[in-house]
């Protein structure tokens, strides 16, 4: 039996995070050349002990002779290796698909050439251990299993170009639908569908304000009861606006830089 407060706390963190990720095209994506474990930064690294025992004799009647400097500890990178996470074939395919979408959006942002609007089918799976780590920040745990989300993303090329070239642009994105499937162990999987139409204000090439503007929600009664207050609160108070702004700017800068070879001059 899942406690309602646990579900509510988890849902209030996961669904807005999923929305933010979809808006910035699942920013958790790592380029195909990066190590697989970079997608799962949830293994604590054990640091080597620092310093060495005092070589002086504290019982000597006269001042001790200074000891030779202790050998510095080995760098953490030499003694602590990151855990290796083996991606499934499905996860590898998802990652490569997101890279294609990322490159298409970055090309529109930075090449600023005429062309067709951007259209991508985006898939992203979140393992339970990833969700548990996210939930821990809210002092909760994820009560179910893997969550798989999909969205058909469309962006007007003209809007992307103006966002980085004009002094101020208020961009309203088309309504998007995120569909997620939640694995629930022995129970049947649950499907969630959530609409939102983000609005983003850009000034001098950077996002300065954003709101998700959540819309229609379809989910089983228990899940919907937990999600609806979170989306309604965000619509009123824009609780996650700063997160969206940060993710969008990171996408335009760091994430586009990661796939520069895929879009530069194309």
For the beta carbon of residue 50, count every other beta carbon within 10 angstroms: 8
| Beta-bridge partners for 119 | 154
**CA nearest to 207, candidates 163, 257, 159:** 163
pLDDT of residue 232: 83
pLDDT of residue 70: 56
Phi, psi of 242 (to 5 degrees): -65, -35
pLDDT of residue 109: 94
pTM: 0.65
- Token pair, residue 120, equals 């991508």
Strands 206-211 and 199-203 turn out to be antiparallel
- Token pair, residue 257, equals 């830089």
> Rounded to an integer, what distance in angstroms lies between the CA atom of residue 84 and that of residue 201?
40
pLDDT per 10-residue tile (average), the chain, 266 residues? 46 45 38 34 37 41 51 53 74 87 94 92 89 65 84 94 94 93 87 93 96 91 75 82 90 94 90
pLDDT of residue 188: 87
Whether residue 6 contacts residue 143, with contact meaning beta carbons closer than 8 Å, is answered with yes
pLDDT of residue 38: 35
pLDDT of residue 216: 93
Model confidence pLDDT, tens digit, residues 34-82:
333 333 333 333 333 434 444 443 444 444 455 555 555 555 544 555 5
pLDDT of residue 145: 87
pLDDT of residue 165: 94
Helix residue spans in 72-156 (DSSP H): 76-79, 89-111, 128-136
- Dihedral of CA atoms 112, 110, 214, 208 in degrees, nearest 10, equals -110
> Rounded to an integer, what distance in angstroms lies between the CA atom of residue 13 and that of residue 217?
16
């Amino acid at each position: 039996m899942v406690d309602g407060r646990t579900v509510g706390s988890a849902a209030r963190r996961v669904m807005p995070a999923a929305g933010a990720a979809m808006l910035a095209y699942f920013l958790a994506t790592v380029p195909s050349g990066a190590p697989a474990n970079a997608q799962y930064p949830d293994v604590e690294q054990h640091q080597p002990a620092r310093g060495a025992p005092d070589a002086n004799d504290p019982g000597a009647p006269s001042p001790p002779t200074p000891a030779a400097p202790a050998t510095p500890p080995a760098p953490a990178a030499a003694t602590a290796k990151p855990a290796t996470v083996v991606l499934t074939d499905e996860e590898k395919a998802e990652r490569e698909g997101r890279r294609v979408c990322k490159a298409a959006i970055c090309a529109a942002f930075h090449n600023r050439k005429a062309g067709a609007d951007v259209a991508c089918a985006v898939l992203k799976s979140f393992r339970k251990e990833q969700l548990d780590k996210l939930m821990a920040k809210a002092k909760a745990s994820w009560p179910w299993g893997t969550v798989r989300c999909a969205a058909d993303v469309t962006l007007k090329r003209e809007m992307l170009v103006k966002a980085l070239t004009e002094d101020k642009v208020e961009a309203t994105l088309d309504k998007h639908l995120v569909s997620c499937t939640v694995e629930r162990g022995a129970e049947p999987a649950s499907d969630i569908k959530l609409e939102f139409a983000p609005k983003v204000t850009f000034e001098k090439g950077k996002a300065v304000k954003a709101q998700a503007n959540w819309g229609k929600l379809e989910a089983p009664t228990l899940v919907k009861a937990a999600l609806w207050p979170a989306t309604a609160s965000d619509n009123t108070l824009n609780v996650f606006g700063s997160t969206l702004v940060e993710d969008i700017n990171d996408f335009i800068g760091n994430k586009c830089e990661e796939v520069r070879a895929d879009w530069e001059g194309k």
